Structure 1
């Protein structure tokens, strides 16, 4: 083989090797690791990050972050997560949570709801559950199925009721801690127009 052909062959092999190396590098990056929070838009990342910051700030104010390890979770609330069928809403929300020991602190925001939150005082479950004091809840259950109610979150709605902030602080049971670790705790928002749920999101590690 003459020298020009050898050089050409060497260049071709070098180029292929570089392409393979770059491809491996790109596809091995943990951008959307299975089981962790995935952000499909810049908006979801921004809102979730702010919610998580609010939860951490509440934890700092209580002096609970200095020496105790914490775990961060994020729930991106979308219509597509609603079970058994997605709503037709254009609303969006996110919740951030920090877990220290068995103490869970949750903060979040929602916007552009189709209607104000469902009022369980005038539109209760059958039979009524006195612990359901708002239209935003934490449930324990599988990602693809509805599960039992666990907690009601406190809500500060806007004047229109179509957007607002949510918050809650809870001491979890061993069963709830296990469910949270296994991706089986979720937040959902119930409205007057979508009584069964307008937004929903699973808590995932952040």
Structure 2
């Protein structure tokens, strides 16, 4: 991945993040798509997250939307395979950027997206990330103090205000790529009533921790789409 491609994607993510944070109303997926279309990548100059060896959609334009759609579809297929009723299914998007990290944005060119679907109390999460500044933080050798055995990976769901760091809720399963600087995310959870309310209020977020940025390299809040 060359520097020009990475710079373009960071610009797109910055625009999307601003829309998510300061928008008067919660943006829909079509809004995200529209904004990406207005800044479409020309001549196939698109960033890939270099996730796993598994098949990913061809990225020519709107790479963020392509990955988000793929993640949402995969999450929905999990619910369908479990014979979960999808009549009241709700979809959520998370745009992971350094600018959301609290208290200050770290030095990184990493990016990521997460798609999630909710039916009743059941939340299924799928995501992609890439371009990390260093390998993911290993909580077996570099644990929190005091140690928390539930923190089994370097990517977590937390509950808290957008401008604050909140308590840990769940760890996501991470499948790194060969280089270890990108990969895929997955998780399936049964939310409590408090967590459901936090999700509705925009107070559940995903954060990613690396060895260089131990306190957080990427972060994004669940937003309905």
Q: TM-score, normalised by structure 2?
A: 0.74
Unpaired runs of 5+ residues, structure 1, are: 1-31
Alignment partner, residue 70 of structure 1: 89
Alignment partner, residue 83 of structure 1: 102
- The one-character-per-residue Cα deviations of 1:164-198 (angstroms, maximum 9, x if unpaired) are 10100000000000000000000010000110111
| Greater gyration radius | 1
- The one-character-per-residue Cα deviations of 1:132-170 (angstroms, maximum 9, x if unpaired) are 000000000001111100000001111211011010000
Give the 3-state SS of the residue equivalent to 1:50 in structure 2: helix
Alignment partner, residue 50 of structure 2: none
State which of 36, 49, 53 in structure 1 corresponds to 2:27.
Answer: 36
Superposition deviation, residue 54 in structure 1: 1.3
**Equivalent residues of 1:48, 1:76 under 8 A apart:** no
Instruction: State the 4+ residue runs in structure 1 displaced beyond 4 angstroms.
Output: none
2 CA distance for matches of 1:55 and 1:203? 14
2 CA distance for matches of 1:90 and 1:171? 33
Give the 3-state SS of the residue equivalent to 1:155 in structure 2: strand
- The one-character-per-residue Cα deviations of 1:57-80 (angstroms, maximum 9, x if unpaired) are 1111111145x4111001010111
Alignment partner, residue 170 of structure 1: 189
Q: CA RMSD in A?
A: 1.5
Spell out the pairing of 1:91-110 with structure 2 (5 A cutoff): 91-110=110-129
Q: TM-score, normalised by structure 1?
A: 0.80
- The one-character-per-residue Cα deviations of 1:22-68 (angstroms, maximum 9, x if unpaired) are xxxxxxxxxx76223564642322222221111111111111145x4
Alignment partner, residue 72 of structure 2: 52
